[in-house]
């Protein structure tokens, strides 16, 4: 990634710029016998030799700030460059809005670069103004529905500045377009747990919500994981309505590996908590599910299911 001013024939090396004559560049020191030396371009070496020089002298100037932009053009994932740029921005009392505009364009090109998102978070913290963050993250997520950095930044913003209103509607729009979007399911859990809280009533409503989604796409692992997540503190057999739904799906002949694995874990929970009146029958059903998973619906993990079957037999037979 290069800006137009630093690219092609228009680029002037820092060593050839009169305003930099007073600076002695600092070459990279790879030691006397580098094993696999990186073949940096002449432009890259020029920029970073001068960057190391200003870093060494701790120069805080407009030209140093401009140099960090050139270094970012060369390597936008370099933590040291971004950190020094933040030092310069503060020292020079630069306009955060101008920096945010520069950064927004860069993030559009470098959507999965951790450093650009970290820099954005720092700018929001400095300004105390999160007003553009929800719209901006929505734009990035529309380009890539599963962009981890955008989801993470959005979660930080809504929690830090209490911007929860309308967030469930936002995440629902993503689930409507792609029920398999595990990032959207994770965000729903984040919002629900931080706003309504996972009370009994809320969990019941979430069970109703997620079972409707599973009805639409029965082999959607993300929805099954969400179901497990909301029941983590209560146990998989906590909801009688859900238990009936699980067995209903099973009775309809649904052969989803996620359904089978969930039902298997329900049986194990019943055995472990001594909630079954017929241990032998429950164990038999569990082992039959292990066999089905190993030989039919989840062959790729056959060894695991066979091990799990043996483990059940050893513990409960």
Closest CA to 171 of 191, 157, 147: 191
Tokens of 206: 């979430």
User: What is residue 33's DSSP assignment?
Assistant: S
H-helix segments, 110-199: 114-127, 133-143, 148-160, 167-177, 182-195
Distance CA 89, CA 65 (A): 8
Distance CA 51, CA 61 (A): 12
CA torsion through residues 308, 311, 316, 317, sign: positive
Answer yes or no: are the C-beta atoms of 309 and 267 closer than 8 Å.
no
Residues 6 or more apart whose CB falls under 8 angstroms from that of 52 comprise: 25, 26, 27, 28
Catalytic, out of 45, 60, 112, 255: 112
Distance CA 94, CA 97 (A): 9
Angle (CA) 183-187-188 rounded to 5° is 120
Residues 6 or more apart whose CB falls under 8 angstroms from that of 99 comprise: 89, 123
Distance CA 49, CA 41 (A): 12
Q: What is the 3-state secondary structure (H, E, C) of 68-121?
A: HHHHHHHCCCCHHHHHHHHHHHHHCCCCHHHHHHHHHHHHHHCCCCHHHHHHHH
Active site residue 112: yes
Distance CA 50, CA 38 (A): 18
Answer yes or no: are the C-beta atoms of 110 and 1 closer than 8 Å.
yes
Q: Annotated catalytic sites, by residue?
A: 112
């Amino acid at each position: 990634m290069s800006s137009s001013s630093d690219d092609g024939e228009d680029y002037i090396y820092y060593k050839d710029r009169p305003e930099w004559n007073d600076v002695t560049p600092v070459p990279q020191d790879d030691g006397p016998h580098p094993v696999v030396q990186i073949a940096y371009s002449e432009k890259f070496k020029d920029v970073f030799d001068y960057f190391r020089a200003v870093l060494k002298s701790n120069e805080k100037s407009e030209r140093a700030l401009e140099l960090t932009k050139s270094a970012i053009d060369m390597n936008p994932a370099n933590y040291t460059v971004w950190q020094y740029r933040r030092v310069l921005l503060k020292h020079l009392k630069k306009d955060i809005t101008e920096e945010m505009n520069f950064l927004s364009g860069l993030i559009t090109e470098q959507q999965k670069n951790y450093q650009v998102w970290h820099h954005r978070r720092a700018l929001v913290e400095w300004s105390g103004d999160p007003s553009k963050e929800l719209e901006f993250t929505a734009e990035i997520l529309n380009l890539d529905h599963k962009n981890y950095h955008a989801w993470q930044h959005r979660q930080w913003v809504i929690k830090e500045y209490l911007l929860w209103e309308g967030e469930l509607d936002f995440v629902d729009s993503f689930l409507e377009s792609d029920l398999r979007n595990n990032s959207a399911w994770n965000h729903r859990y984040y919002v629900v747990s931080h706003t309504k809280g996972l009370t009994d009533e809320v969990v019941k409503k979430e069970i109703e919500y997620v079972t409707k989604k599973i009805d639409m796409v029965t082999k959607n692992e993300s929805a099954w994981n969400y179901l497990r997540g909301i029941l983590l503190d209560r146990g998989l057999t906590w909801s009688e309505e859900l238990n009936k739904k699980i067995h209903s799906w099973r009775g309809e002949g649904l052969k989803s590996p996620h359904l089978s694995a969930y039902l298997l874990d329900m049986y194990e929970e019943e055995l472990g908590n001594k909630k079954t009146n017929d241990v032998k029958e429950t164990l038999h059903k569990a082992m039959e599910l292990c066999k089905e998973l190993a030989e039919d619906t989840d062959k790729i993990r056959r060894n695991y299911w066979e091990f799990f079957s043996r483990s059940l037999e050893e513990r409960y037979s």
